[in-house]
Amino acid sequence: MYMNTGKKCKCGFTVGDPMIIPKTKYNKKGYFWLSMGYSAKPTEVVFQCQTCGEIIATSTDEEIIEKYRYNSDIIQ
Ligand SMILES: [Zn+2]
């Protein structure tokens, strides 16, 4: 389960809306391996609005990380 707090961004979107995109975060070592062309495991998943850029939810849950690690953008 991700932490769906029901929080809305400035535009009124919540987790689950198409404008809210999951993005994965890596630690320094993870970024290094990614830049070398290897895969690395994200440390956190964030849910960010594409319109206003606000992050409305984050998760460090293993299940969520596994779910999004291959089909989300990387946040720097
Ligand atoms: Zn927004």
What are the structural domain ranges in the chain? 17-55+72-76
Most distant CA pair in the chain, distance:
38
pTM: 0.82
CA of 6 to the centre of ligand 1 (A): 14
Angle at 45 between CA 51 and CA 49, to 5 degrees: 10
- Rounded to the nearest angstrom, the distance between the alpha carbon of 50 and the centre of ligand 1 is 7
Map residue 46 onto helix, strand or coil: strand
pLDDT digits (tens, 9 = 90+) for 17-69: 999 999 999 999 999 999 999 989 999 999 999 999 999 999 999 999 999 98
Provide the residues around ligand 1 (an ion) whose CB is within 5 A: 9, 11, 49, 51-52
Cα(29) to ligand 1 centroid in Å equals 30
